[in-house]
């Protein structure tokens, strides 16, 4: 049983798809945010896998940055959710529809 880079990539694909389904299906803004994080991690996995394949550090450093950015992003997103909750008493994305045409 040999493990190829392809295996990692497929795992990343599965994770990405799960995250995607979650973003679309879930109505809780916090959970949607978590699904986004999952998708981001799927991408990170691809970076790391290819870094391993090419045997250099670039991909890993990129992941390092990605994690940092994700942390910042999560903080801001949660702040937004709190602000929205204060305004509308909800985190249900279906109720956030003042932009309706």
Contact call for residue 75 and another protein (CB under 8 A): yes
Using DSSP's 3-state secondary structure scheme, residue 100 falls into coil
> Interface with another protein includes 88 (CB under 8 A)?
no
- Of 38, 33, 47, 50, give the one whose Cα is nearest residue 14: 38
- Decide: is 27 part of the binding site for another protein (CB under 8 A): yes
Task: Kindly tell me which residue out of 43, 57, 87, 88 binds another protein, with binding defined by CB under 8 A.
Answer: 57
Shortest distance, CB of residue 62 to another protein, whole angstroms?
Answer: 9
Taking CB under 8 A as the rule, does residue 78 contact another protein?
Answer: yes
Cβ contact 66:50 at 8 Å: no
Task: Return the SS3 of 40.
Answer: helix
Write the CA distances from 19 to 30, 33, 70, integer angstroms: 13, 10, 15
- Tell me which residues in 30-49 interact with another protein (CB under 8 A): 30-35, 37-38, 41, 44-45, 48-49
Asked if 53 is part of the footprint of another protein (rule: CB under 8 A), the reply reads yes
């Amino acid at each position: 049983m040999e493990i190829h880079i392809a295996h990692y990539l497929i795992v990343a694909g599965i994770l990405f798809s799960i995250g995607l389904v979650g973003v679309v299906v879930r109505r809780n803004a916090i959970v949607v945010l978590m699904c986004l994080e999952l998708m981001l991690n799927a991408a990170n996995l691809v970076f790391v896998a290819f870094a391993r394949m090419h045997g250099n550090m670039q991909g890993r450093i990129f992941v390092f940055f990605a994690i940092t950015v994700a942390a910042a992003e999560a903080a801001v997103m949660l702040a937004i959710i709190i602000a929205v909750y204060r305004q509308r008493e909800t985190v249900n994305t279906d109720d956030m529809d003042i932009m309706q045409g």
